[in-house]
Every structure is written in structure tokens, then in C-alpha cells.
Amino acid sequence: MGGQEDQAVGTAKEFEGKVTGDADRETEGKVQNALGKVETTADDAVDNAKGAAQVAGDKLGGR
């Protein structure tokens, strides 16, 4: 699953756990949501690093 998908599923599980009183399901949702946020943040950081490397390469190459 992707980061955003994990966040959505995690939020749904957390809500389900709250509604049904299932603390384990609620915790599972919180964890999945948090992991999704971490994955999304990491993906964004990689994309930003690639962009910065491209800009640096363009400047060094005289473009």
C-alpha cells in the first residue's frame, strides 16, 4: 500500500475501533495511519532530493 492509502485505511480502522469499543482495532488504525504518514514524508523527501540533485546537475552542466 502507498502512504496515503495506509493513512486512509488506518483512519477507518481507528474510527471502527472507537465506534465498536475495540481498543486493539483502534490502536492498529493509529499505527497504520502513522506508518502511512512516515512513508508519505519519506517519499516526499526522496522526491525533493532528486529535484535538488537535478537542479545542481543542471547548474554544473551549464544549462
- Calculate the CA dihedral of residues 44, 35, 10, 41 and round it to 10 degrees: -10
Domain ranges of the chain: 3-60
Angle formed by the axes of helices 23-60 and 3-20, nearest 10°: 160
Distance from chain centroid for Cα 57: 28
Q: What is the pTM of this model?
A: 0.74
Q: State which amino acid sits at residue 11.
A: T
Q: Of the candidates 5, 25, 28, which has an alpha carbon nearest to the alpha carbon of residue 16?
A: 25
pLDDT of the chain along its 63 residues, tens only? 789 999 999 999 999 999 999 999 999 999 999 999 999 999 999 999 999 988 888 888 876
Q: What is the pLDDT of residue 63?
A: 62
